[in-house]
Structure 1
Amino acid sequence: ERVATGEHWFGARALDCRLVDELRTSDDYLLDASAGADLYEIIYTGKKPWLARLLAQTGETLGRF
């Protein structure tokens, strides 16, 4: 009854009301969850804007002379 009031419960108060098992950061959780797991790093390289591509090509062309 004490917690079914429609209120929000944060941090230590949620712990006191036994709504959560423990308090920790998302980084701590992810580090613990990743232990012993197969992890993959995905690197996304987006397409450069047209002006950046143009300037890069111009620089390469000028570098040949």
Structure 2
Amino acid sequence: MWDFPKFEGPMVLWENVEAVPGIKEVLGTLHLDYICCVASNAGESTKELMGEALNRVDLGEYFNHLFTSRE
């Protein structure tokens, strides 16, 4: 996901959320053979909020576990 420094707070609340080009195709292949996880230092987000942000760009289904520095 692209980080837009002009936005503050949890990414799920940002006006604009975008996935890196090509990532959906890569994750579509990887998640078939690997356990995919996200570990983030997003201290303002919980794993639930991170999951919602990933779902906004149709990527949430590819991850088995989410971790943030808040937890």
| Fold in common (TM above 0.5) | no
Larger radius of gyration: 1
Output the TM-score relative to the length of structure 1.
Answer: 0.25
Q: Which has the higher helix share?
A: 1
| TM-score of the pair, normalised by structure 2 | 0.24
